[in-house]
Structure 1
Amino acid sequence: MNEREEIASKPLRGFARLSPEQRAQIARRGGLAAHASGHAHEFDTREARLAGHKGGEAVSANRQHMAEIGRKGGKGRRKKIQEN
């Protein structure tokens, strides 16, 4: 038996044993409790915009990643034009 089979044969424990509906119900309760106690945070439009801007800056700082994205977009566009 390889490692993958060994892991798959172990019985489920904790949250993995719950149905998706049960997990959603627990998550819902946690969210409600966080809001009730004042620990939850809701973004307003300004904060959301700033967070998006910060994430965009972090991604675009990686020049190699951005070049790769641009190449993929260019190849996809070229393929679409050739099909028509």
Structure 2
Amino acid sequence: MDPEEQRRIASEGGKAAHESGHAHEFNSEEAREAGRKGGEASHGGGNQGGGNR
């Protein structure tokens, strides 16, 4: 399945969840925390590899 079709299907699911009231809506504090965790996981987490495993 091409990426654009996948995005379209996922978007429909998200819209349906919001319309039915089942989707979680982040408040500003939750959004801030999620952004912080994402930054740590992608580049700021301190574990950049290169060590012994």
Q: Does TM, normalized by the shorter one, top 0.5?
A: yes
Alignment match, 2:3 = 20
Alignment match, 1:33 = 16
Which has the larger share of helix? 1
CA RMSD, aligned part only? Answer: 2.7
Q: Find runs of 4+ consecutive structure 1 residues off by over 4 angstroms.
A: none
Residue-pair matches, total: 39
Q: Secondary structure at the match of 1:43?
A: coil
TM-score by length of 2: 0.55
User: Which entry has the higher C-alpha Rg, 1 or 2?
Assistant: 1
Runs of 5+ consecutive residues of structure 2 not aligned to the other structure: 49-53
Using CA pairs under 8 Å that are at least 6 residues apart, name the structure with larger relative contact order, 1 or 2.
2
Q: Percent identity?
A: 49
Runs of 5+ consecutive residues of structure 1 not aligned to the other structure: 1-17, 60-65, 73-84
